[in-house]
Structure 1
Amino acid sequence: MLGEGSRGAILEITLAKVLFASKTTQIIGMSATLNNVGDLQKFLKAENYSSDFRPVQLKEYVKLSDCIYEVDCKEEDCFKFSRPLSFKYSSNMKKMDPDHLIALVTEVIPMHSCLMFCPTKKNCENVAGMICKYLNKCFIQHREKEKTDLLDEIRSAGNGSICSVLKQTVPFGIAYHHSGLTNDERKLIEEAYSAGVLCLLTCTSTLAAGVNLPARRVILRSPYVATEFLKRNQYKQMVGRAGRAGIDTSGESILILQEKDKLLAKALVSRPLENCYSNLMHDNRKGLQSLILSLIGLNISRTPADIQEFVSCTLFSVQQEHLSSEKNLWDITMETVSFLTEKGLIMSTAGSHGDTVLEVTKLGRATYKGSIDLSYCDVLYSDLKRGLGGLVLDSILHLIYLVTPYDMVAHCKPDWMIYFRQFTQLTAVEQNMASMVGVPESYIVKKASGQSLKKGVDSLTVNRFYLAFVLFALLKETNVWVVADKFNLARGFVQSLLGSSSAFCSCVVHFTEELEEFWAYRALFIELTKRLTYCVKAELIPLMEVAGILEARAKQLYGAGYKTLAHLANADPNVLTKTIQNMSKRQANQMVASAKMLLTEKAEALQEEVDELLTFPSDLPS
């Protein structure tokens, strides 16, 4: 993970700080797909233990035409003939399934589990649907009751809505798994697969790392992720899902190949694993810039020499000659310090011994305390500054726009007709506000009519306002399915947008706390963070703070008269079970106990404030 873009940079920064701050903290790193272990050893000052032991044997195969070949690097072609693939296909089936996916999966399901990695999210859904069309109806009878219950749970999690593909495939023990699912759907599908209720998941490559869902057989639908040919590390992560320790005695993987990809596949299965490299220089040195800003802000390093010493303890320093042969570490560090100075995030002053001492500016402190991306800190500042001149509070839309994450814009292009329809439904005040932030109605009208426009309107602002529309609708509807359908977006994306906005809103709270001119925003954004976190009507938020209460349950409690935290904390669990539908005695006891604990914590916090106010300094005259 250290080699994965901005996420890897954050991980490297965190590890470097832990190593600097503590000599007793124990760090354990684990990987099945790491090549340059020596670099990591040096960075972490670590011992190394490696083993090729695998509790369940894994056999790797490829499928070419109608034959299965075993991967054997001792062979000249790397592939040794294993067996022909025998399965009776009708002419229509062969047309629909030229890669013999049905033959490959029915060799193991339903008695054993199978994962099929597909190159795209849409392909996951299409493949799952196609397989079900041609499976024998006896597959439906296998654990039928549990699959019916699973569909009911998925429907309940979607507030009565269910995906048409899952509705078709789950009775056969099949489901798809990708980022388009909601968190609840994903959890239910993973649990059902682990329990054997579902026997086949068609999934994207993201399931290969991080989610522990092993299988008897892993099928790689194609050697591509989207349009990119697989990397060796990705391949090993995927095939490594095969084999369940304690459940299966063996595991196998099958990579489906076309003749044109045979040479590339030969290199894929035989070459060494890719090296893991530092990402502090990724995206124009963003990681290194964040590191140095936080070092100065946290008073870990205040002089150029101290910063140089800290940076020399990073993975980047260990690999610097591979990553930046033109410049040495000192030059790179000083260039980054100059960049932060020019951006107005740090400033240099003369120390007591005539040396240079670095300090963060107010904007710099707000940026690192709010964990704001350095690419957007000045944009956020100017957006908030402009908002002070005409903040519209007739509607929550303006506040939502201010905390819509900048980095989500790249993942969603507006549907201009939908954009236009949503724009026309705004009030006159909201339309004026849109124009004020840089989204004129005339621009939306022209884009919706298909006109190509010259630049003059900031696309980041316009596209971000579209995402603000999605969030605005979500806070009104509070139903991910309805909003996803309204904007023709994946429900998983809508939920991800909501989660990112909640997190970003919390970051903006910390950002504004450090800048006195933004004092008015703090209370507004604290309340908005709650709205975005729970995504329910405002009156339900106090109940949503209690552990175990989701929107449907909060509505039941509110309707039954339990409208505040105090109401719930003082409730009789026996009365709750009789009043609230489908609530067990155990759930009622847990809910009341959680409400009492939360109420006590709030009361103690208020008491501390009271005690602090009533404490008089001892040096005052009597």
Structure 2
Amino acid sequence: MNKVNAMERQQGLFHKTTVESVTSQQRHFHTTTVAGSKRPYSETPSAHHAEPNKRLYFQGIGRVVPRLIASSIVALDAATIATPSEYSQRKAISATPTSIVDRSLSLSFSRYCLPVPLVNNLNALGIKEIYPWQKQCLLGPGLLDGTKNLVYSAPTGGGKSLVADILMLKRVLEDRNAKALLILPYVALVQEKVRWLRNIVQDIKRKPLETDERGGNAWIWQKRPDEDDIRVVGFFGGGKIRATWSDFDIAVCTFEKANMLINTAIDDCSITNLRTVVLDELHMVDDDQRGYLMELIATKLMSLEHSVQIIGMSATLANIEALSTWLDAHTYRTFYRPIPVQEYLVHEGKIYPASTTRSILKNPSQLQPDSSLTLRLDSRPVRAIQASQHKEFQDPVLNAVVALANETVRSGYGVLVFCSSRQGCESDARFISRVLPQANELDPSVIEKRLDLLGDLRNLSMDLDPNLAETIPAGVAFHHAGITTEERDLISTAYDTGVLKVVVATCSLAAGINLPARRVILHNARMGRDLIGPSMLRQMRGRAGRKGKDEVGETYLCCRKCDLEDVVELMHADLPRVSSGLTTDKRRIQRALLEVVASDLIQEHVESSLQDLLKMGFIQCDNLDSYVATQLGKAVVASSLEPEDGAFVHREMKRALQAFVLDGEMHVLYTFTPVQSLIVSINWQIFRSEIEALDDSGLRVMMFLGLKPTVVNRMAQGGNLKESSPDEKERARVYRRFYLALQLKDLCNEMPVHAVARKYDMPRGTVQTLEQTCQGFAAGMIKFCQQMGWGAMAAMLDHFSDRLKAGAKTDLLALSKVTFIKSRTARVFYDNGFKSVASLANASPKELVPILMQAQPTKLRVKSKDGQKYAEKLLAKAQVIADSANRLWQVEMQQDLDGD
């Protein structure tokens, strides 16, 4: 023990931490030592206990960087007992669980009328009973029978999603014709929710169709294999599935796709099957960019002739009563969290409980230019982060972030760090990785799993990011919009399974990821240059605490001296009141009115608000002085375009009809390039070199669009693109769109995403977003042309849209329909003689394994067991390819027979 104490004094390694343990009988959380916590790593003293000025090195993949040592964190008052701050929302309320047995907390309780298979599936997923607040909410008036809407609020991690899931599933199970929509703001959340719901409804069969539902001759109909299943389908901008109302029972959608589905259903009168709509993240109704869509959806649903149960939920609703009044809904609010959360402020190397920082005092010298702010004298720090001797950690905020992350990982827990920028994410990840246990300190199985993750990242047909190659061996990764969806999915899964211990994410992704952590660290309280709002802060802090794995969660907000006053005010600020998103400067009311008129939901005159739509030619007055949508207005709604974007597309397409360039692909690709949010930074030197390489057809397209090589050349030499007048703004928009079309051209000609990103100096995640969103935009453009009566143009665009989905040239379109065969992989199969679906269908899976090996972008490390394991994985993949090809081939043969 004396040796330990001596080491404690000299190295500070066995410092105090607040990664505590808690029992059900305790109402407070004792401070313990790291030495007494879970500690899975066998540390090598020579590596970890070295002096700071001694240069130690570890090797990532492809580069060697010096090791660093994180600063120690010491307790300033050993008697201090950490108490939860009021910000954690843990208040004594009636919904707090008690020791009394309550049968109504069981999912099989008779009042809920849930089928046994559904209850069993939820039990298998770990949900054996519900919280008291969930019971009280579900038993609200008219909710279980679907006659009353619901608006409710619960903290992140409090179990609010289960309430909506139960109500939605009841509607679908009670009526086999019922449809349900679950609307989420982000693609990542849609994908995650689809997986969750499919697990919940697995093997649940609905009541078979009665004979009279099929006109008395049900036996002559061929029953579809999944006809009695509950079909859960995800719809989002980058999805490969076209939104079809008849192919799902539960649709999990982004705002845009949900609005499109509802418009389609109103148009073809199938909307009567819609029984329930769940609006998650309801506080986003006043989001300046997309919130108006949620408001638009709810308004249209309440205007329908039949009743649709609307369920709105959020963790951050201040004026919940206003929203419930608008939706005519029952209201419920809870502050319960199953995992208590402790909040701290970190300032100048000192850690303060958030509850003690409500107010601050200015120094007497506040009138002097060099005056600074200090915390109130009664706000005592509970711990201190020692200054670092490394020059890399001289910034106290960075030093605090690294020290807190290091402490968490060495205690055996996961940590989530939020940064204000992509560059900040990658920088923090690299610094944190340099202080964590390395290969010689880790269990070999941990190293193996991280190397497997690196192998999986290499297999994504793109170069392995050099920063990820450096950080992942230490258990650290970053997560932002600059990396691809596949990379983010692999990183999220690895973190969730414990392969990774630290994920550093941008603040903007706080609501778009579901990665709970024992400890959440905010590098600062800014997103870019702007201070984040109270709602965003709670979104990030809400990730702390993982039910089933943690007894407590912790959040640390690190702030600079210049931000102290604003940060303290932010920490204790009330949530903002939600207001209408249709009243912003962006004139969202135009879109709302256009959709309402086009959908025949109102007949009232709103002259002052409709004048702009009349001028733009989207609506007109009929003989009865009622507003009706014009052909152009219906086309804009069908294609889900903003009115301003719709007017721009109409002008572009009218000109294209006069002289469409058909002897190349550039004009089609330009037409398929999205017009929404064209905030793209053009590298004019690259732009110049690309147009110099265009063929005659591409140059004619450029000239037809009014783009001048002389302008591009002037910009490449440092000129400025004028955007003062409306005409200049539209011209700049065309330049940006053509620059993106050049990237789309490379993608459609089988250039990998990472290569396009490198070529155009763009983040690979941004290029992938272009690749994905252009598919949905292309579908919208085809609908636009069909609605306008431009059938030939629609047919031509529809034919080319297959190339967008395949990311390949025409000769690979047939192969690209096979599962796992896309772009580069399709080319490898084609070059090896598998030029048709039939050739794949008639091949054995073992024949396909060598071809799949060739399709890998890089050589994998091959050890005896690695090679065998990887061969087994490829053989399973080859079997899926062969089965998929067989199904497609059978369809082709049946079509040939029908044709004969």
TM range (shorter): 0.7 to 0.9
- Counting only pairs closer than 5 Å after superposition, residues 145-164 of structure 1 correspond to structure 2 as 145-159=448-462, 161-164=463-466
Counterpart of 2:382 in structure 1: which amino acid? R
Structure 1 residue 113, shift from structure 2 partner:
0.6
Which position in structure 1 is the counterpart of 2:674? 405
Structure 1 residue 526, shift from structure 2 partner:
1.1
Which position in structure 2 is the counterpart of 1:472? 745
1:14 to 286, 297, 314: 297
Distance in structure 1 (CA, Å) of the matches to 2:429 and 2:435: 11
Which position in structure 1 is the counterpart of 2:398? 99
Which position in structure 2 is the counterpart of 1:503? 776
1:558 aligns with 2:830: yes
Structure 1 residue 463, shift from structure 2 partner:
1.8
Conserved in 1, the CA contact under 8 Å of 2:597 and 2:629? yes
1:393 aligns with 2:694: no
- Counting only pairs closer than 5 Å after superposition, residues 214-613 of structure 1 correspond to structure 2 as 214-286=516-588, 288-301=589-602, 303-304=603-604, 333-351=606-624, 356-410=625-679, 412-452=680-720, 458-516=731-789, 518-569=790-841, 572-573=844-845, 576=848, 581=853, 582=871, 586-597=876-887
Distance in structure 2 (CA, Å) of the matches to 1:503 and 1:343: 25
Distance in structure 2 (CA, Å) of the matches to 1:359 and 1:275: 35
Conserved in 1, the CA contact under 8 Å of 2:304 and 2:601? no
Name the SS for the 1:384 alignment partner.
helix
Cα deviation per residue 1:392-416 (whole Å; 9 max; x = unaligned)? 2222111111221122421x12111
| Count of residue pairs the alignment pairs up | 574
Structure 1 residue 477, shift from structure 2 partner:
4.0
Counterpart of 1:71 in structure 2: which amino acid? A
Name the SS for the 2:504 alignment partner.
strand
Return closer, same or farther for 1:12/1:549 CA change in 2, 3 Å cut-off.
Answer: farther
- Counting only pairs closer than 5 Å after superposition, residues 63-78 of structure 1 correspond to structure 2 as 63-72=346-355, 77=360
Conserved in 2, the CA contact under 8 Å of 1:115 and 1:218? yes
Counterpart of 2:292 in structure 1: which amino acid? A
Conserved in 2, the CA contact under 8 Å of 1:60 and 1:253? yes
Counterpart of 1:103 in structure 2: which amino acid? A
Residue segments in structure 2 that go unaligned for 5+ positions in a row: 1-283, 361-375, 854-870
Conserved in 2, the CA contact under 8 Å of 1:220 and 1:254? yes
Distance in structure 2 (CA, Å) of the matches to 1:19 and 1:548: 43
Which position in structure 2 is the counterpart of 1:312? none
Structure 1 residue 277, shift from structure 2 partner:
1.6
Distance in structure 2 (CA, Å) of the matches to 1:476 and 1:604: 32
* Residue range with higher mean Cα deviation, 66-75 or 242-251: 66-75
Distance in structure 1 (CA, Å) of the matches to 2:897 and 2:831: 32
Structure 1 residue 197, shift from structure 2 partner:
0.8
1:167 aligns with 2:479: no
Which position in structure 2 is the counterpart of 1:84? 383
Distance in structure 2 (CA, Å) of the matches to 1:589 and 1:293: 50
Cα deviation per residue 1:426-456 (whole Å; 9 max; x = unaligned)? 1233223212211111111111122457678
Return closer, same or farther for 1:130/1:297 CA change in 2, 3 Å cut-off.
Answer: same
Structure 1 residue 461, shift from structure 2 partner:
1.3
Name the SS for the 2:314 alignment partner.
coil
Distance in structure 2 (CA, Å) of the matches to 1:259 and 1:120: 20
Return closer, same or farther for 1:510/1:108 CA change in 2, 3 Å cut-off.
Answer: same
Distance in structure 1 (CA, Å) of the matches to 2:897 and 2:535: 55
Name the SS for the 1:29 alignment partner.
strand
| Structure with greater proportional helix content | 1
Structure 1 residue 599, shift from structure 2 partner:
5.8
Which position in structure 2 is the counterpart of 1:109? 409
Structure 1 residue 559, shift from structure 2 partner:
4.2
Cα deviation per residue 1:182-212 (whole Å; 9 max; x = unaligned)? 1111111111111111111111013311321
Name the SS for the 2:691 alignment partner.
helix
Conserved in 1, the CA contact under 8 Å of 2:418 and 2:522? yes
Name the SS for the 1:30 alignment partner.
strand
Distance in structure 2 (CA, Å) of the matches to 1:23 and 1:374: 29
Structure 1 residue 576, shift from structure 2 partner:
4.8
Distance in structure 1 (CA, Å) of the matches to 2:671 and 2:644: 16
Conserved in 2, the CA contact under 8 Å of 1:2 and 1:9? yes
Return closer, same or farther for 1:86/1:201 CA change in 2, 3 Å cut-off.
Answer: same
* Residue range with higher mean Cα deviation, 173-182 or 525-534: 525-534
Cα deviation per residue 1:89-145 (whole Å; 9 max; x = unaligned)? 324244366532221111111521111111111111111122233445358735111
Counterpart of 1:485 in structure 2: which amino acid? R
Cα deviation per residue 1:206-251 (whole Å; 9 max; x = unaligned)? 3311321000110110111111112111111101100000000010
Conserved in 2, the CA contact under 8 Å of 1:409 and 1:467? no
Name the SS for the 1:68 alignment partner.
strand
1:210 aligns with 2:512: yes
TM-score under structure 1 length normalisation: 0.85
Name the SS for the 1:185 alignment partner.
helix
Structure 1 residue 23, shift from structure 2 partner:
4.3
Distance in structure 2 (CA, Å) of the matches to 1:145 and 1:489: 32
Name the SS for the 2:621 alignment partner.
strand
Return closer, same or farther for 1:31/1:139 CA change in 2, 3 Å cut-off.
Answer: farther
Name the SS for the 2:329 alignment partner.
coil
Distance in structure 2 (CA, Å) of the matches to 1:451 and 1:126: 32
1:51 aligns with 2:334: yes
Which position in structure 2 is the counterpart of 1:323? none
Structure 1 residue 560, shift from structure 2 partner:
4.8
Structure 1 residue 569, shift from structure 2 partner:
4.8
Name the SS for the 1:209 alignment partner.
coil
Cα deviation per residue 1:273-302 (whole Å; 9 max; x = unaligned)? 11122212334322x22222222223333x
Cα deviation per residue 1:293-321 (whole Å; 9 max; x = unaligned)? 222223333x225xxxxxxxxxxxxxxxx
Structure 1 residue 476, shift from structure 2 partner:
2.3
Distance in structure 2 (CA, Å) of the matches to 1:441 and 1:140: 58
Return closer, same or farther for 1:13/1:76 CA change in 2, 3 Å cut-off.
Answer: closer
Distance in structure 2 (CA, Å) of the matches to 1:284 and 1:234: 22
Distance in structure 2 (CA, Å) of the matches to 1:402 and 1:542: 24
Conserved in 2, the CA contact under 8 Å of 1:73 and 1:270? no
Conserved in 1, the CA contact under 8 Å of 2:300 and 2:601? no
Conserved in 1, the CA contact under 8 Å of 2:358 and 2:568? no
Conserved in 2, the CA contact under 8 Å of 1:304 and 1:334? no
1:118 aligns with 2:387: no
Distance in structure 2 (CA, Å) of the matches to 1:361 and 1:75: 57
Structure 1 residue 525, shift from structure 2 partner:
1.2
TM-score under structure 2 length normalisation: 0.60
Which position in structure 2 is the counterpart of 1:180? 482
Distance in structure 2 (CA, Å) of the matches to 1:25 and 1:588: 45
Conserved in 2, the CA contact under 8 Å of 1:478 and 1:537? no
* Residue range with higher mean Cα deviation, 93-102 or 166-175: 93-102
Counterpart of 1:297 in structure 2: which amino acid? A
Counterpart of 1:198 in structure 2: which amino acid? L
Q: Identity, % of aligned pairs?
A: 28
